[in-house]
Homo-oligomer: A and B are copies of this chain.
Amino acid sequence: MMDEGIGRVSQIIPQMPALEARLCRLMLMLGDDIEEELEFKLKPHKLNHSEFLTLMILYSRPDGSSTPGELCEYATQGATNMTRIANALVKRGLITRGASEEDRRRVLIRITPAGRRFVQKMLPPMFPRVATMFAGFSDTDKRHLDRLLRKLAGNLDQLSESRQP
């Protein structure tokens, strides 16, 4: 369906990089599909993607703590949104928010023991469906995919730098 669409457009505008455009479109569709699958798994826990990601970042830190600014960077979220995310997670007792000693502009965010238990409980049931996503992929397939995606990521990185350096 998408293939036919791109085909017809590239017949009218032949200088279009049709193959590349198709790959772009595929990546966008897959990104949406994976996001949808993820949100489906998160819904029972009343978490959305960015809250989950933020919580996982904290969980994966050796000391379980970070600052809003750092979390923004790693979760690629605006500071505005991080405030809301932190509000939501604090309300549920999964993280705490306190003032930093050294730099009083900073806020210190820390995952709570309850937050750790929550992650450890919710994660395992997600595994089977993640594995299913890559059913029929050989180890070589996965390695190839990883390599190609990282190459693409590198190119996109350059493009993003060329936007506002």
Interface residues of A (CB under 8 A from B): 1, 4-6, 8-9, 12-13, 15-17, 19-24, 26-38, 40, 56-57, 59-62, 74, 76, 120, 123-124, 127, 129-137, 141-142, 144-146, 148-153, 155-160, 163
Contact = CB atoms under 8 A, between A and B. Distances in A.
Contacts of A120: 12-13
Contacts of A17: 127, 130-131, 134
Nearest to A145: B148
Contacts of A8: 60-62
B160 A24 contact: no
B149 A30 contact: yes
A164 to B, nearest CB: 9
A24 B13 contact: no
Contacts of A127: 15-17
A155 B150 CA distance: 21
A27 B34 contact: yes
A101 to B, nearest CB: 25
Nearest to A33: B156
B135 A33 contact: no
A83 B141 CA distance: 41
What 9 A-B pairs come out closest when comparing CB atoms? Answer: A31-B31, A5-B60, A33-B156, A8-B60, A26-B149, A145-B148, A20-B134, A17-B131, A9-B60
